[in-house]
Structure 1
Amino acid sequence: MALLITAKCINCDMCEPECPNQAISLGDVIYEIDVARCTECVGHYEVPTCQSVCPIDNTIITDPQHPESRDALWEKFVRLHP
């Protein structure tokens, strides 16, 4: 699954620079994750860095609207980083 930033986001600016796929950007109100670019850090790190640096628990969650297998996330990583 891609990740989702919830309304708990405090716009602390911690997640955006940590994303290796440049999938995070500031939306109208809070930061947002581009599901076409989010690989949950598959191909880069063992765990999603945005979740690791977020100071608010359960703010960045798996997006139930965009289920993807680990293999699908890997394929997306390969497309983004040829």
Structure 2
Amino acid sequence: MEDVWLISNGTCMPRNVNELPQETKDRRWRQEKLYKQMTDSCIDEVAKPLRRLRLMPEELVTLKIIMLFRCGNYVNSG
């Protein structure tokens, strides 16, 4: 499970599309063409650093809450 981005809705986004079953040809195309860059970024910039921190569940929940509330604090200054 090193190179897979798992989303809470059950979606599994692998870095390598060859990990997907052959019968999901349409899904493989979407993953390769549309989601690969985002998946790579999520794994490299979010999942790996968080794994290295070895947070306790309570710390992770607190961090997620902080991130959630920070997302709504951006003000359009244009």
- Alignment TM-score, normalising by the size of structure 1: 0.30
Q: Which has the higher helix share?
A: 2
Q: Which has the higher strand share?
A: 1
Higher CA-based Rg = 2
- Alignment TM-score, normalising by the size of structure 2: 0.31
